[in-house]
Amino acid sequence: MELRITCIPGDGIGPEIVAEAKKVLDAVAVKYGHVMHYTDILMGGASIDVHGVPLTEEAVKTAKSADAVLMGSIGGDTTTSPWYKLPPNLRPEAGLLGIRKALNLFANLRPAVLYEELAGACPLKEEISAAGFDMMIMRELTGGLYFGERKTVEENGIRKAIDTLTYDENEIRRIAIKGFDIARKRRKKVTSVDKANVLDSSRLWRKVVEEVAEDYPDVTLEHMLVDNCAMQLVKDPAQFDVILTENMFGDILSDEASMVTGSIGMLASASLNDTKFGLYEPSHGSAPDIAGQDIANPIATVLSASMMLRYSFDLDQEADAIDHAVKSVLQAGYRTADIMSEGCERVGCRRMGDLLAERI
C-alpha cells in the first residue's frame, strides 16, 4: 500500500519528534510491505520566519492532496519569541486553527492510556491506578458554545455577555457515527456525555446519538451527565472505552483525562473530517526550552502515527505493532527525561526512536 503523508515538523521540538515518528513508520513499511511518501510543509513559527504568515495557501493545498497529515508541534515561548508581538491572526497558533478549518476537521480524538510501567506517575490512589485504563475521548470540534453567536451589551447600565450554544442534528450525527466506528475498533462501548437534565442542545444530542446507535447493535451505549463523568474519571477511569461528547465538555474532560495519566509526553491525538482523512499530533506543546537538545520524548508523536495508520488507513495490524513496540520499550526500562524513574535507563529522543523502530 502507498501512503501519502504530509508532515508538519513545526516549531520547538517538533522537527525532532516528527523525525523519530517517520523512523518508526519506515520500519513499519519495511515489515509490512508499504511505501511511505512524505511531503514536508511549514506551519506556525517556522512558516512565519520564511513566509511572514503562519499558514500559506500552498501549504493547505499540499495537505489536502495527502491521505493524512502528521504534525509535530506549533508555537514558541510566548514571553520572548518575536512571533507573539504579531497580531493574533499572524501568530503560530493561527496556523493550526486555519488548517483545521481548511481541512474540515470536526472530530477530535484524545486517547488517555495509563501504562503499567508508568503507573507511579498517576495522581490517583494506587487501588484505582492499579486497574489501569485505556479510553478515547471523542470531542466535537467545530460547533457548540465556542462557535455560537456571541456579544456583550449594556442594558440599563449593566454589562451583559451572551454566548450561544447551538447544535443541529447533522453536526451531532456525524460525530456520533465517528464515535461508534472507533468503538468498533476498540472494546465496543460508547459513553455519550451531555447535560440533558438542563440543556435543550443536550436533549437533542442524546436523541440523535440513540438514533445512530440503532445502526451499531454490537456497540453498547450508555448516557452519562457531564458532572458525573468528571467524577467518574477520577473514581473509576477503567470503566470508559469511548467517551463521546460536545465541544466544551470534551475540552474540559480531555484535559482531566490527560492529567490522570500522569504524563502528557505519552499522549497522542487526532482530528478527523467526514472521510478517512485526519491530522495527527501529540497533545503536548513545542517545549522550546529543550528544543535541539535530543531530550524530547517522541512517544506521543509515534503513537499519533499509530492512530494515523489505524483510522486513516485501516492498518490495524501495523498500528498494533507500534503500540506493542512502545509497551516493549517501556517494559525494558528505557525512559526519556520526562518519564524517568529510579532503576531505568535514560535515553535521548533519537535513541528512543531507534529502540521503537527496532521492535516493530
- In sequence order, the 6+-apart residues with CB closer than 8 A to the CB of 341 are 120, 121, 335
The alpha helices in the chain, defined as continuous H runs, are 14-32, 45-51, 57-64, 92-102, 126-129, 169-184, 200-213, 226-235, 247-261, 299-311, 316-331, 349-358
User: Comparing C-alpha atoms, which of 88, 85, 93 is closest to residue 44?
Assistant: 93
- In sequence order, the 6+-apart residues with CB closer than 8 A to the CB of 178 are 107, 138, 272
Burial 62-96, CB ≥16 within 10 A → b, else e: bbeebbbbbbbbbbbeeeebebbebeeeebbbbbb
Task: Give the residue numbers marked as catalytic.
Answer: 146, 195, 227, 251, 255
Looking at the chain, the number of H-run helices and the number of E-run strands are 12, 14
Pairing assessment for the beta strands 334-335 and 345-346 based on DSSP bridges: parallel
In the numeric block, the cell 456571541 is attached to 150
The letter for the amino acid at 331 is Q
Rounded Cα distance, 53 and 95, in Å: 8
Cα dihedral 251, 260, 264, 80 sign: positive
Rg of the chain's alpha carbons, rounded to an integer?
21
305 alpha-carbon distance from chain centroid: 11
User: Comparing C-alpha atoms, which of 79, 69, 14, 20 is closest to residue 47?
Assistant: 14
In this structure, the dihedral spanned by the alpha carbons of residues 261, 324, 185 and 18, taken in order and rounded to 10 degrees, is 70
Cα dihedral 121, 182, 227, 130 sign: negative
